[in-house]
A and B are shown apart, each in its own frame.
Chain A
Amino acid sequence: MKGNTSLSKGSTLLRELGITALSIVLAFGISAFIVWAAGFSVSAVFINLWKGAFGGKLALGSTLTKSTPIILTSLSFLLAFRCGLFNIGAEGQLYIGAIVAAVVGAYIHLPAALHVVVCLLAGGLGGALWGWIPGYLKAKRGVNEFVSTMMLSYVAIGLTDYLVAPRGPLHDTKYWANQTIRIAPTAALPRIMKPTQVSMALIVAVFFALVVWYYLFRTPAGYELRGVGLSPPAAEYGGIRIERKLILALTLAGFLAGLAGTGEVLGTHFRFIGRFSPGYGWDGIAGGLIARAHPIGAIFAALLMGALRAGGMQVQRSGAAPGDIAAVIQGLVIFFIIAPTLIRVLIHWRKK
């Protein structure tokens, strides 16, 4: 019986992967048509897309660097999603995490290894606070987290903008740019693929994907969190305090998004720069959905998103097509993967 089970488990996994692969192929097919219809060279666009994402060490480094925060924001989205919540505010949690990490990294002095760990924790906790607020409001006042997390994102972006602006308290007076002073070398995450910007933050992100997997599927707390997400009345029947789980889920989601921002500060920029994120928080929503809310899947979903970002930049740089076309391709890929039902309908239709 056991062998039978793992077989059926395996086949559904294969099916899911197959559908995802088919979605990507379809998306590229339609993208090719749009590129062609818009009057650009299909081959030039796709060659540059590939070159920018995987064509050599620099390209790969660019992809991995961009994927790193998206792994964490994808985890942030999917963790809340597993509890039945939509965390749309990873972007804001990311900014709060980043500014806290930048402050702890620059103004507190500790021995090397310890300093990094303290910065990671502090950044995570900053994000956690930004997740706890909508969690608390949801549990105690029924405030829709979809709206509150998104609105708090704008608050976070505005707040951090102010802090690092020329008259703000955290502004680095040596430069005109909106940024903090550099963090201490003891707080930096080492680069692991020089000369690219890939840092230990990638390892941290992958490690947390494993942690989130373990938490969700191998601990009683994760079991309860998923129970609330799948059926609140049954969870309540099982003695699970739903309110607490909602708060916890959004707090943990905030922690993960905060870590994403922290990794950017400690591993990529070595300081907080106002509006540094090109939308990694929003990418996490797509990443979490592409991963079908599975933590290990989030690693690969983020890689895809990072590759599209890196490749898209190359498409623009090479002059093969404007950046808008790259954005269209990116959008189509995401759309097709997130709409697996569409693919299923097509399969069903063919059978008929």
Chain B
Amino acid sequence: MPEFAVDMRGIVKRFPGVVANDSVDFAVERGEIHGLLGENGAGKTVLMSTLYGLYRPDAGEILINGHPQSNYGPATAIRLGIGMVHQHFMLVPRLSVAENIMLGQEPIKSGIFLDREAAIRQIQKFSNQYGLPIDPKARVDQLPVGAQQRVEIIKALYRGADTLILDEPTAVLTEQEVEHLGSALRKLKQEGKATILITHKLREAIEICDRITVLRKGRVIGTVHASETNERELAEMMVGRDVVFTVRRTEAKETPEPVLRAKEIEAEDDRGLLALKGVSFDVRKNEILGIAGVQGNGQAELAEVLTGLRPIRKGSVSLGGQDLTGKTVRDFIDAGIAHIPADRHLRGLVMNFSLRENAILGRQRIHQFAPSRFWQNQLEITNYTKRIVEEFGVKTPSVYVLAQNLSGGNQQRLIVGREFSKEPRMIIAAQPTRGLDVGGIEYVHEQLLKMRDHGAAVLLISMDLDEVMMLSDRIAVIYNGSIVAIRDPEDTDRRELGELMLSGARAQTGAEEEG
């Protein structure tokens, strides 16, 4: 019988109104990469928070290295070698990598002085040993996300972690970074460390993990060997039904009519650096134009410029012939632009507003909801919200609940529902499926195609190349603030797009041909 690094037996965790974990058995062997798969709200995070000692289970027991634990809390968990890398990193941005890692466990020399060198040596040792390249002296806020994640992993190792919990580690990474992470995890495995990978990306789970446990509605559906399963089987386990993987795309109707015209747009990022360097394109009626690119090449600024949230330095934006350059967000909304923002927590919803209040965000002044300046039509708002909840399948006990009490997937459904219910002419969809489970992704994709077929123009900005390739009628590649190529998805492949995304300069000719 293999020795388990972690053995959780019959874990039950209830919250008011829900059973988050229902008699969950979950065991991880030493030297194993174990995937924990499930839709949003399936109970993955609760289970792992229990393992990390943040929650006390209502029933069940936890064995670490074969020893049953009583009075188990975060301090015990850390002492027994459980390390967690959260989805949202817990780093001090203004401190260096070394300072972040040693925070709380600073090596001391001569009794009172910080031994920075010892820490740096130790970090470099881990870095080389596990193939996690990092500069200990760099400041964390100047590092890309992938590097910050490496800092988090090394921090856990520095604290003596034998079992690493990674919460959705690949959500923020590019394809190349995901590969690097995979090889680093395999090195950890050789050293006998156990890794638990929380994810809902099927392909990655199969590629990286040894075994995969699938949770659904708080219960374990099964544990399978990655080598003996496939994406379809896992998806079925996750959602409990057959999942259509390739969306059936209807051909775009031939309409040359441009809805959105972006001409030679230049704009700065938050630091005042030029982030968009003369971007031009049209989005036509009945068309999805996909923007492919590695994160941080101007996508965020592009979405903001096209919704009035960010000022334009040069160039122009127009919608259906109406010039919107320099106009307010209000004007963009009134002109018929819907916006699914990349950051739903920050921009997409007022978390402490109810569903009702969020459902009218952006249109709070229209006659339907506010017949006069002094009267909001409460009944109409309630009915309208109920329609959105029903039509877009937002799971909620009522429309009076605060948005922050919804799961991530349901929050996104609410945003999508709100934006699509505006009957927009133009949809700016930035990372519309980020953090969603299989069912949610499928749903948003269908909705985007439906909107397109109903005559809307759609600009899809996504880091997920599969998504862009699957949905787009044309694909524009953005690199370093410029559109370097526009391609027909029929005439290109992942390889070519990947190369364009990484070094756009080589393929300038493509963009010129397209005009």
Query: Residues of B contacting A220 with CB < 8 Å?
Result: 364-365, 369-370, 373, 376
Of residues 145 through 182 on chain B, the ones whose CB sits less than 8 Å from some CB of chain A are none
Of residues 316 through 366 on chain B, the ones whose CB sits less than 8 Å from some CB of chain A are 328-330, 332-333, 339, 341, 343, 346-353, 357, 360-362, 364-365
Query: Residues of A contacting B332 with CB < 8 Å?
Result: 239
Docked CA distance A159–B388 (Å): 56
Closest residue of chain B to A1 (Cβ to Cβ) is: B398
B381 to nearest A CB, angstroms? Answer: 10
Q: A237 in the interface, Cβ–Cβ < 8 Å? A: yes
A201 to nearest B CB, angstroms? Answer: 25
> Interface readout for A315-338 with B: 1 if CB under 8 Å, 0 if not?
000000000000000000000000
**Dominant SS at the A interface?**
helix
**Segment at the B interface, from A29-37, A228-236, A266-274:** A228-236
Query: Residues of B contacting A231 with CB < 8 Å?
Result: 346, 349-352
Q: B400 in the interface, Cβ–Cβ < 8 Å? A: yes
Closest residue of chain A to B351 (Cβ to Cβ) is: A231
Query: Residues of A contacting B245 with CB < 8 Å?
Result: none
Docked CA distance A239–B324 (Å): 14
Whether the Cβ atoms of B351 and A230 lie closer than 8 Å is yes
Whether the Cβ atoms of A237 and B375 lie closer than 8 Å is no
Docked CA distance A11–B340 (Å): 35
Closest residue of chain A to B378 (Cβ to Cβ) is: A218
Docked CA distance A63–B398 (Å): 42
Chain A interface bracket (under 10, 10 to 19, 20 to 34, 35 or more): 20 to 34
The winner among A219, A226, A235, A241 for most chain B CB atoms within 10 A is A219
Query: Residues of B contacting A219 with CB < 8 Å?
Result: 370, 373-376
Closest residue of chain A to B341 (Cβ to Cβ) is: A237
Chain B interface bracket (under 10, 10 to 19, 20 to 34, 35 or more): 35 or more
Q: A279 in the interface, Cβ–Cβ < 8 Å? A: no
Closest residue of chain A to B400 (Cβ to Cβ) is: A5
Closest residue of chain A to B349 (Cβ to Cβ) is: A234
Docked CA distance A231–B398 (Å): 22
> Interface readout for B301-320 with A: 1 if CB under 8 Å, 0 if not?
00000010100000000000
Docked CA distance A30–B42 (Å): 47
Query: Residues of B contacting A230 with CB < 8 Å?
Result: 350-353
Whether the Cβ atoms of A221 and B350 lie closer than 8 Å is no
B interface residues (Cβ-Cβ under 8 A, vs A):
307, 309, 328-330, 332-333, 339, 341, 343, 346-353, 357, 360-362, 364-365, 369-370, 373-376, 378, 397-400
A interface residues (Cβ-Cβ under 8 A, vs B):
1-2, 4-5, 8-9, 218-221, 223-224, 226-227, 230-231, 233-239, 241
- What are 5 of the A-B contact pairs (CB < 8 Å)? A1-B398, A223-B376, A237-B341, A238-B364, A239-B328
Counting from the closest, the 6 A-B pairs by CB-CB distance are A239-B330, A5-B398, A220-B370, A238-B361, A237-B347, A238-B362
13 additional contacts (CB under 8 A) given A2-B398, A5-B398, A239-B333: A4-B398, A5-B397, A5-B399, A220-B369, A230-B353, A233-B343, A234-B349, A234-B350, A236-B329, A237-B339, A238-B361, A239-B329, A239-B332
